[in-house]
Chain A
Amino acid sequence: MPLYNRLKEYRARLGVNQQEMGRMAGVSRQTISQIERGDYSPSVTLALKLAKLCGAAVEDLFSYQEDQSDES
């Protein structure tokens, strides 16, 4: 799915590890890891929650880019 994110970067700025970030957002460490790797696209609720924790707008944290194949 063409959803890109800068969660790892924002998490580093906060100075917390995946486990702590997960605890703050109410999800598991694995979920944070999957989002950072781009293997999982979070729900709108979780995306908003993560953006709030990072002190950023959700558009800064996540960006959607249309696939070339989708346009044809």
Chain B
Amino acid sequence: MKVKTEKSENRKALPKFFLTMLGSLLAGGFLGFLVGFSRILGPDTGEIGRWLDGTLRAATPWGIPVTSALTMGACFLLYRSAAKKFAAWGGGDEDDVSQSVEVLLSWALLLSAVQLLLSLFFMTAIGTYQPEKGVLAMVGVFLLSCACVIFTQQKVVDLERRMNPEKHGSVYDAKFQKKWLDSCDESERLQIGEASYRAYMVTTRVCLGLWMVLTVLGMVFEIGMLPVTVLLLVWGLMQVTYTLECIRLSKNGMAAQ
């Protein structure tokens, strides 16, 4: 086995690092130049802001019902297809069938999670714009949408449990995620760990990208410091949690979970 020394690894990685830094520096300079240029000759940024604001204000009353109808409809179709395949499968050793059922259910879960985020977004928009009419009805639609999301997730979990009788937990239970994780075996825990690490890496990159975008936007629009503060708070929380958990696990081992 080839043994790579620390020095040779560093020597190999350093030129790439400097190139990345130089590229970022040039991109930042170019963006700064564009920002300055747009202030002199560019479009009226206030006008763009007002247009975005007006569009979102108009979309607010319809946001939750329209997105809910689309995502919940898709969830229903995915669930029905998974349930049909599961009924035809019958619990044999065929991996293709069980894997396609798992994939369909995972997509249904993902769509329901996206719908929850959209509902929360439009609920905040209702609170921000405070439409003159029908606020109570909009709040009712929001609650109904949340109920539909939870119901869909419970149906998916029920089918998962029928496929995997060793799994425990109900979405209606506050400790559902812990109970579900406890009923996962070693390979499933490894899968969850790898997926979580990928999510961590993607979120880290997205946070860095968003910080750059918000910094540039802050020079053009009057967005204030709140967006960057919230972004850095979420990023910091994730970094601190990850590091503290790594320290805890290295001290106590995986058995201490």
Contact = CB atoms under 8 A, between A and B. Distances in A.
Interface of A: 17-19, 22-23, 26-31, 33-34, 37, 40, 42-43, 46, 70-72
B2 A27 contact: no
B131 to A, nearest CB: 48
Nearest to A71: B1
A30 B186 contact: no
Contacts of A23: 165-166
Contacts of B186: 27, 31, 42-43, 46
Given A17-B92, A17-B93, A70-B1, A27 B98 contact: no
9 contacts: A17-B92, A19-B91, A27-B186, A28-B188, A29-B98, A29-B164, A30-B164, A31-B187, A46-B186
Chain A interface SS verdict (over half)? helix
B98 A30 contact: yes
B95 interface: yes
Contacts of B188: 28, 30-31
Task: Give 10 closest A-B pairs by Cβ, nearest first.
Answer: A27-B185, A31-B187, A40-B187, A18-B93, A33-B95, A31-B185, A28-B185, A70-B1, A43-B186, A28-B164
Contacts of B91: 17, 19
Nearest to A33: B95
A23 B187 CA distance: 15
Contacts of A70: 1
A10 to B, nearest CB: 14
B166 A22 contact: yes
Contacts of A34: 187
Interface string B80-100: 000000000001110100100
Nearest to A39: B187
Contacts of A40: 187, 190
A40 B98 CA distance: 17
B249 to A, nearest CB: 16
B7 to A, nearest CB: 22
A37 B190 CA distance: 17
Nearest to B187: A31
A40 B95 CA distance: 15
A3 to B, nearest CB: 13
A17 B94 CA distance: 10
A70 B2 CA distance: 8
B124 to A, nearest CB: 39
